[in-house]
A and B are shown apart, each in its own frame.
Chain A
Amino acid sequence: MLSRAAEAMYWMARYVERAEQTARLVDVALGLRTDLSDLEPEAAETHLQGTFRILGQSLIPPADGLPAAERVRGLICDEWSPDSIYACVARARENARSVREIISSEMWEHVNRWYWSLREAGKEGLREERAAEFLASVRNGAFLFGGITDGTMTRGEGWHFAKAGQFLERAEQACRTVAVKIALLLERGPRPAGAVDTILWMSLLRSCSALEAYRKVYVTRVEPALVVDFLVLEAEFPRSVRHAVAVTADAVRRIGGEAPEGDRALPGRLLGRLSARLEYAEVPEIFHAGVGPYLERIERDLREASAAIQNAYFLH
């Protein structure tokens, strides 16, 4: 397929995933503020700053820079900020528009409607009370997009590029989210001790949409080793780093074919190696390296893979 079209599929899917991720993290951060408002509001504040770091907004002490409320607003509806939900959806739509002849009309109509509904919601001004509702609608829009894509698109090259984009984004985000939040949690102590700690560890799981899934396996035991195991290494949980990398590797393998040559061989090799590492990793070695450094290394490998995909298929 046309290189530019492949690139558009890849980025369209990445931006949709990014929009969902941003909405989820902001939602969790706002929820944390409510939950901890009586107990320990500073902890909620710390985690809000952490959220800004995860999403790529540079760290500015609230005293010197914008108030947190403003930054949250910026993350949601700032038209000109590359990190905002609005920008992500607008970009997803732009990319979709440029490949209308490749995606299904159901996909296009959905992205288009999603974009317009967010624009209209943004015009009315976003009030704090409506934030949760708004963020939920963003997430639903992203889930619907995935479902419609899977339900209406032939598993051709275009579809595989979209999957590669979506899961690469997911893997990167998962690494960042866990790395940043685990660091904040472990600062407080080696394991949760008390109501606030429990709430904070649960919010980490929520940040990865993993709370209920985790509980089905481990019930009420919230222990750092188990949480890290689940969020990083759990093969069957769709948002774990391992799972996301495996899906990405598979998509890239299908794009490259049996025996890709030259530049086209590199993405598959990098992701294959990474996938194998995660398949055989164990939690003690993650803690031994330090959760942060371990995940940062994976993130670097993912960025390298992303550049390799770019080189192999999009640039000529």
Chain B
Amino acid sequence: MLFDGYTLDDFFDEMFEREGSPRTHYAALRRRLGAMAPGDLQHRRRAVDLYLRDQGVTFTVYADDAGIEKIFPFDPVPRIVPAEEWGRIERGLVQRIEALNLFLDDVYHRQHILRDGVVDPLLVHTGANFRRRMIGLDPPKGIYIHVMGTDLVRGSDGVYRVLEDNARTPSGVSYLLQSREVLRRAFPDLFADYAVRPVADYADNLRDTLANIAPAGVADPTIVLLTPGVHNSAYFEHSFLARQMGIPLVEGRDLIVRGNAVFMRSTRGLERVHVIYRRIDDDFLDPVAFRPDSMLGCAGVFNAYRAGHVGIANAIGTGIADDKAIYPFVPAMVRYYLQADPILDNVPTLQASRPAEREHILAHLDELVVKETNNSGGYGMLIGPYATAEERERFRARVRENPRTYIAQPVVALSRHPTWVEGRLEGRCVDLRPYILYGNKIRVTTGGLTRVALRKGSLVVNSSQGGGYKDTWVLAPGAAGGPPC
């Protein structure tokens, strides 16, 4: 019933191998959903929405009229990843975060990778997020990226590739942690046939990752989560994570620097802070070191950091690692620093900074996705096949004027997944964002945020542009559909 009229339309479908034929690991789910009455699914969905609203699982959308807080739409059909597929993803992500950390360490010290001609130095030095103040600074334990969210997509060939890394203040993990709970409440029967790996240990792991960078000799470090405040679009997540970890949620105005150490204003006076998990951009972190007009940060915190009196996660200056102009070089970084072949490949990318590739981009604007290298959230992007001639001309001029600022990729026909749309299931494009923690060891979440583009035919999955999310099930080895590891 629910699957009536479900078509694949030449997309790689997560659930179906061919029309009517589910993949092995989806067979049980297909059966259960197939047996469900549409009214039942509808009813449970409404319960989900109410629960999310009661919990306040909201996301603030700035461009939208309908009020400031919106519920991030949750789709009840889970995405399933079999164990051996996940194993490969996990190994590939570990490689990537290691390589990127080594890159940052290199680029803020001896810059060997630039001298050896592997990465164009101009791209690094003109990077908006390359922070000169970090040159020569040794962050605690030599780690720069403590939390990373990497976006994976697969095209018609079914191979997972990296679309982008998010190495500054990646968000979304709270939805991942919530979605398991939500699905368990509303659809407990779906879990009956599967051994799904848990995600609930994320908060503990994150806390350990943060404690790992406390100044030496501190037995029980005070860790805080620094948020821009209640009006920030990701505030729910800041509050959620602080709660889960049992640490104070602070704003810039709660902190003060005295004698190059960081303190928070408490009812008992000033209390020392050892580690800051900051969800504020570098630019706004310290009006003395960075933007002087910032009201969100704390004056002097960078000096305390430089003096080794406070740990900051993620380190300042990681933005050069997830700069879209640097992204094409990440597989080369894996080879250079780890002497290994990258397990995960990038989506094929053209760089406008290279003359030959630039010409190709300009000649094929109607076929490519062109991205600005200093933007995120799906903004500042041209999706060639869907753009008007006028939009393409505008981008042509911009690419010519400022080539370093643009890369281009072929339109990836993202894989699709059955998604609840107005009374039945239809295929909608999805991506996958696992999170990686770099503490005393590298840990990849056993699960990821599966974002889904809710608008028909849309390839843009970002929440800020009308996307939704699903629960992601990584199966235990030997579970339904997966051979034992």
Closest to B249 in A: A101
Find the residue from B240, B256, B264, B265 having the highest chain A CB count within 10 A: B265
Compute how far the CA of A101 lies from the CA of B266 in the bound complex, rounded to whole angstroms: 16
Find the residue from A3, A105, A109 having the highest chain B CB count within 10 A: A3
- Our pick among B55, B230, B249 for the contact of A94 (Cβ within 8 Å) is B230
Inside 8 A of B56's CB, which chain A residues have their CB? Answer: 97, 100, 108, 112
Minimal beta-carbon separation of B377 from chain A (angstroms): 23
Whether A98 touches B230, Cβ cut-off 8 Å, given contacts A2-B248, A2-B250, A4-B251, is yes
Whether A3 touches B265, Cβ cut-off 8 Å, given contacts A94-B230, A109-B54, A113-B54, is yes
The answer to whether A109 and B248 have CB atoms under 8 Å apart is no
Inside 8 A of B251's CB, which chain A residues have their CB? Answer: 4
Within 8 A of B (CB), among A1-36: 1-6
The answer to whether A101 and B265 have CB atoms under 8 Å apart is no
A142 interface residue per 8 A CB criterion? no
The answer to whether A116 and B53 have CB atoms under 8 Å apart is yes
Closest to A5 in B: B248
Inside 8 A of A101's CB, which chain B residues have their CB? Answer: 239, 242-243, 248-249
Closest to A315 in B: B265
Find the residue from B56, B240, B243 having the highest chain A CB count within 10 A: B56
Compute how far the CA of A94 lies from the CA of B68 in the bound complex, rounded to whole angstroms: 13
- Our pick among A4, A112, A255 for the contact of B254 (Cβ within 8 Å) is A4
A79 interface residue per 8 A CB criterion? no
Convert A119-143 into 0s and 1s, putting 1 for each residue whose CB lies closer than 8 angstroms to a CB of B: 0000000000000000000000000
Minimal beta-carbon separation of B117 from chain A (angstroms): 49
A316 interface residue per 8 A CB criterion? yes
Minimal beta-carbon separation of B207 from chain A (angstroms): 13
B360 interface residue per 8 A CB criterion? no
Inside 8 A of A313's CB, which chain B residues have their CB? Answer: 267
Convert B247-260 into 0s and 1s, putting 1 for each residue whose CB lies closer than 8 angstroms to a CB of A: 01111011010000
The answer to whether B239 and A97 have CB atoms under 8 Å apart is yes
Compute how far the CA of A4 lies from the CA of B242 in the bound complex, rounded to whole angstroms: 15
Minimal beta-carbon separation of B270 from chain A (angstroms): 8
The answer to whether B267 and A255 have CB atoms under 8 Å apart is yes
A78 interface residue per 8 A CB criterion? no
Whether A4 touches B267, Cβ cut-off 8 Å, given contacts A97-B239, A101-B249, is no
Minimal beta-carbon separation of A127 from chain B (angstroms): 25
Minimal beta-carbon separation of A272 from chain B (angstroms): 19
A301 interface residue per 8 A CB criterion? no
Inside 8 A of B264's CB, which chain A residues have their CB? Answer: 2
The answer to whether B54 and A97 have CB atoms under 8 Å apart is no
A304 interface residue per 8 A CB criterion? no
Inside 8 A of B249's CB, which chain A residues have their CB? Answer: 2, 5, 101
Convert B262-276 into 0s and 1s, putting 1 for each residue whose CB lies closer than 8 angstroms to a CB of A: 001111001000000
Compute how far the CA of A100 lies from the CA of B242 in the bound complex, rounded to whole angstroms: 9
Compute how far the CA of A97 lies from the CA of B60 in the bound complex, rounded to whole angstroms: 14
Minimal beta-carbon separation of A251 from chain B (angstroms): 13
A157 interface residue per 8 A CB criterion? yes
Compute how far the CA of A105 lies from the CA of B244 in the bound complex, rounded to whole angstroms: 12
Within 8 A of A (CB), among B265-317: 265-267, 270
Compute how far the CA of A116 lies from the CA of B243 in the bound complex, rounded to whole angstroms: 23
| Overall SS of chain B's interface | mixed
Inside 8 A of A108's CB, which chain B residues have their CB? Answer: 56
Inside 8 A of A109's CB, which chain B residues have their CB? Answer: 54-55
Inside 8 A of A105's CB, which chain B residues have their CB? Answer: 55
Within 8 A of B (CB), among A290-316: 313, 316
Find the residue from B230, B248, B266 having the highest chain A CB count within 10 A: B266
The answer to whether B54 and A316 have CB atoms under 8 Å apart is no
The answer to whether A3 and B239 have CB atoms under 8 Å apart is no
Inside 8 A of B55's CB, which chain A residues have their CB? Answer: 105, 109, 112
Inside 8 A of A113's CB, which chain B residues have their CB? Answer: 54
Inside 8 A of B250's CB, which chain A residues have their CB? Answer: 2, 4
Inside 8 A of A157's CB, which chain B residues have their CB? Answer: 267
Find the residue from B54, B251, B267 having the highest chain A CB count within 10 A: B267
The answer to whether B230 and A3 have CB atoms under 8 Å apart is no
Compute how far the CA of A98 lies from the CA of B229 in the bound complex, rounded to whole angstroms: 8
Minimal beta-carbon separation of A286 from chain B (angstroms): 36
Compute how far the CA of A313 lies from the CA of B242 in the bound complex, rounded to whole angstroms: 22
Compute how far the CA of A122 lies from the CA of B256 in the bound complex, rounded to whole angstroms: 43
Whether A100 touches B239, Cβ cut-off 8 Å, given contacts A5-B248, A109-B54, is yes
Inside 8 A of B267's CB, which chain A residues have their CB? Answer: 1-3, 6, 157, 255, 313
Compute how far the CA of A206 lies from the CA of B358 in the bound complex, rounded to whole angstroms: 79
Inside 8 A of A5's CB, which chain B residues have their CB? Answer: 248-249
The answer to whether B54 and A112 have CB atoms under 8 Å apart is yes
Compute how far the CA of A116 lies from the CA of B56 in the bound complex, rounded to whole angstroms: 11
Minimal beta-carbon separation of B245 from chain A (angstroms): 9
Convert A148-163 into 0s and 1s, putting 1 for each residue whose CB lies closer than 8 angstroms to a CB of B: 0000000001000000
Closest to A99 in B: B249
Compute how far the CA of A116 lies from the CA of B239 in the bound complex, rounded to whole angstroms: 20
Compute how far the CA of A255 lies from the CA of B268 in the bound complex, rounded to whole angstroms: 10
Compute how far the CA of A38 lies from the CA of B444 in the bound complex, rounded to whole angstroms: 75
Closest to B229 in A: A98
Compute how far the CA of A79 lies from the CA of B248 in the bound complex, rounded to whole angstroms: 31
Inside 8 A of A316's CB, which chain B residues have their CB? Answer: 256, 265, 270
Minimal beta-carbon separation of A5 from chain B (angstroms): 7
In the assembled complex, 18 residue pairs joining A and B whose CB atoms fall closer than 8 Å, in A order, are A1-B266, A2-B266, A2-B267, A3-B265, A94-B230, A97-B56, A97-B239, A100-B56, A100-B243, A101-B239, A101-B243, A101-B248, A108-B56, A109-B55, A112-B54, A113-B54, A316-B265, A316-B270
Given contacts A97-B239, A100-B56, 17 further A-B contacts (CB under 8 A): A1-B248, A2-B248, A2-B254, A2-B264, A3-B265, A3-B266, A4-B250, A4-B251, A4-B253, A100-B239, A100-B240, A101-B239, A101-B249, A105-B55, A112-B53, A116-B53, A157-B267
Nearest 6 pairs between A and B by C-beta? A101-B243, A100-B239, A101-B242, A3-B265, A316-B265, A313-B267
Q: Chain A residues in contact with chain B, CB under 8 A? A: 1-6, 94, 97-98, 100-101, 105, 108-109, 112-113, 116, 157, 255, 313, 316
